[in-house]
Structure 1
Amino acid sequence: MSAAADRVALVTGGARGIGEGIAWRLAEAGHPVVLADVLPQVAETAARLAAAGHPARAVTMDVSNDAQVAALPRALGDWWERLGVVVNNAGISPKAPDGLPRPVAAMPAEEWRRVLEVNLTGAFLVSRACIPPLRARGWGRIVMITSQAARTRATIAGAHYAAAKSGLMGLARSLAGELGPDGITVNCVAPGRIATPMAEGAAAGVNDRMLRAIPVGRLGTPRDVAEAVAFLASDGASYLNGATLDVGGGSFMP
Structure 2
Amino acid sequence: MRGADFGDANNASIREPIGLDAPTPDWDRHWMTALRVNLLAPAHLSRFAINHFLERDCQGVIIGLTARIAVRGDYPDYLQDGAAKGGMNSLLRGVARGFAKNDILTYLISAGIIETDQARAQFDSHGGTDQYLADIPMGEFGTPKDISELILFLSTGRARYSTGATIDAGGASFLH
Q: TM-score, normalised by structure 2?
A: 0.88
Q: 2:44 aligns with which of 125, 143, 162?
A: 125
- 1:219 corresponds in structure 2 to 141
Q: How does 1:1-254 map to 2 (within 5 A)?
A: 83-95=5-17, 102-106=18-22, 108-135=27-54, 136-155=56-75, 158-202=78-122, 203-205=125-127, 207-254=129-176
| Greater relative contact order, per chain length (Cα 8 Å cut-off, separation 6+) | 2
Distance 1:235 1:244 in 2: 15
Moved over 4 A (4+): none
> Which runs of 5 or more residues in structure 2 are unaligned?
none
In 2 relative to 1, CA 157–148 (structure 1 residues): closer, same or farther, beyond 3 Å?
farther
Distance 2:77 2:69 in 1: 7
In 2 relative to 1, CA 185–169 (structure 1 residues): closer, same or farther, beyond 3 Å?
same
Structure 1 contact 84–134 (Cα < 8 Å) conserved: no
Distance 1:206 1:122 in 2: 32
Deviation of the 1:205 alpha carbon: 2.0
In 2 relative to 1, CA 157–87 (structure 1 residues): closer, same or farther, beyond 3 Å?
farther
Q: How many pairs align?
A: 169
Distance 1:238 1:91 in 2: 26
Structure 1 contact 93–157 (Cα < 8 Å) conserved: no
One-letter code aligned to 1:178: G
Structure 1 contact 228–245 (Cα < 8 Å) conserved: no
Distance 2:129 2:20 in 1: 22
Deviation of the 1:246 alpha carbon: 0.5
Deviation of the 1:207 alpha carbon: 2.9
Structure 2 contact 61–157 (Cα < 8 Å) conserved: no
Deviation string 1:189-242 (CA, Å, 9 cap, x unpaired) is: 000111012112212325321111111111111111122212221232111111
Deviation of the 1:157 alpha carbon: 5.9
Structure 2 contact 19–76 (Cα < 8 Å) conserved: no
One-letter code aligned to 1:185: L
Deviation of the 1:148 alpha carbon: 1.1
Distance 2:126 2:170 in 1: 21
Aligned Cα root-mean-square deviation (Å): 1.9
Distance 2:74 2:126 in 1: 17
Deviation string 1:98-150 (CA, Å, 9 cap, x unpaired) is: xxxx2212161111011101111000011111212212232000000001111
Structure 1 contact 86–143 (Cα < 8 Å) conserved: yes
Secondary structure of 1:235's aligned partner = coil
